[in-house]
């Protein structure tokens, strides 16, 4: 992982990850490059009192999966695209203060140039890049793969048997179905629990969206074929959502009139990357 691809004239302190309320809105990288914060400087002072809601909690998600699936199903789950997460139990939940630091230090080019493959943050005296490849390393998700043609209508087996073929399926619907699932239920087929767990991990872990938001119809059909689901470029999906949500998070923070704000997206990937890039965070 690259700690930085830009430098200011001052020497970089790669072990510092601190919110600098003295930083100006614009950051001059060199004689030709200037970046600016999405987040307005005059808002920085309010961050000490802010609290964060996050809808991406892989730790709790995997705890639930382990509680609901039986041992045979857990063994089957290990062979899926999210299989390595079954042992995901030794990392803290996303730090709210770290999320605030990311949002407050999120920067873009003044000239309007957009880099689809990196998100950049002004950390102390440097601009550091969290890249698409970094996300792939942290999450283990593919950035390329097969995207089979799939109906947008409720034609899938899991969709019709467990979700009633409803046109609109929310993430909360998926959670309710998983909570009721038992491998001993009448009519249950071998991989039903695994497929429901995959939808749950995707919707409540990696996409990290509010429970009332609809689940993409494509994914509800895709899960019927575990090989197609495994080959799908989920890293691309998670990356695009996270980039979109970073800007939305800046806007949400600026528009917030209270002391609590909601950040969607897979923010935990940024936390893991930050701990790898800035060793001093482990001492905090």
How far apart are the C-alpha atoms of 50 and 261, rounded to whole Å?
7
Q: Give me the pLDDT at residue 143, please.
A: 95
Using one digit for the tens of pLDDT, what is the confidence trace for 195-205? 999 999 999 98
Report whether pLDDT(8) > 50: no
| Average pLDDT of the chain, as a whole number | 82
State which of 22-36, 51-65, 191-205 shows the largest mean pLDDT: 191-205
The pLDDT assigned to 28 comes to: 65
pLDDT tens-place string over residues 60-87: 899 999 999 999 999 999 999 999 999 8
Burial 84-107 (b: 16+ CB within 10 A, else e): ebbebeeeeebbbebbbbbbbbbb
Within 10 angstroms of residue 39's Cβ, the number of other Cβ atoms is: 21
In this model, does residue 191 exceed pLDDT 90?
A: yes
Residues 131-143: tens digit of each pLDDT: 999 999 999 999 9
Beta bridge partners of 107: 37, 120
Length of the chain, in residues: 284
Cβ-contact 278, 14 below 8 angstroms: yes
Q: Which of 7-16, 20-29, 48-57, 120-129 has the highest mean pLDDT?
A: 120-129
| Contact (CB, 8 A) for 248 and 103 | no
SS3 helix, strand, coil % of the chain, rounded to 5? 45, 10, 40
**182: which 2 tokens?**
């038992």
pLDDT in tens, 201-259: 999 989 866 777 889 999 999 999 999 999 999 999 999 989 888 887 777 777 777 77
């Amino acid at each position: 992982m690259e700690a930085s691809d830009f430098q200011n004239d001052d020497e970089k302190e790669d072990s510092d990850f601190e919110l600098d309320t003295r930083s100006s809105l614009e950051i001059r990288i060199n004689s030709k490059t200037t970046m600016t914060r999405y987040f307005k400087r005059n808002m920085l002072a309010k961050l000490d009192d802010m609290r964060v809601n996050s809808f991406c909690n892989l730790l709790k998600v995997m705890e639930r999966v382990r509680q609901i699936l039986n041992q045979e199903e857990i063994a089957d789950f290990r062979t899926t695209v999210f299989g390595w997460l079954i042992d995901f139990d030794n990392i803290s939940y996303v730090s709210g203060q770290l999320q605030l630091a990311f949002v407050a230090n999120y920067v873009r080019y003044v000239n309007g140039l957009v880099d689809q493959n990196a998100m950049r943050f002004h950390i102390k005296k440097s601009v550091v890049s969290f890249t698409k490849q970094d996300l792939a390393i942290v999450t283990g998700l593919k950035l390329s793969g097969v995207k089979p043609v799939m109906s947008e209508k409720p034609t899938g087996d899991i969709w019709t048997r467990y979700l009633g073929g409803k046109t609109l399926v929310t993430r909360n619907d998926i959670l309710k179905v998983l909570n009721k699932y038992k491998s001993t239920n009448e009519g249950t087929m071998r991989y039903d629990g695994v497929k429901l767990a995959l939808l749950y991990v995707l919707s409540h872990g990696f996409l990290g969206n509010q429970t009332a938001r609809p689940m993409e119809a494509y994914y509800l059909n895709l899960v019927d074929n575990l090989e197609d689901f495994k080959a799908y470029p989920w890293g691309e999906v998670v990356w695009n959502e996270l980039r979109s949500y970073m800007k939305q998070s800046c806007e949400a923070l600026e528009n917030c009139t209270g002391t609590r704000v909601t950040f969607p997206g897979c923010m935990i990937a940024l936390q893991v990357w930050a701990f790898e890039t800035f060793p001093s965070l482990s001492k905090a």
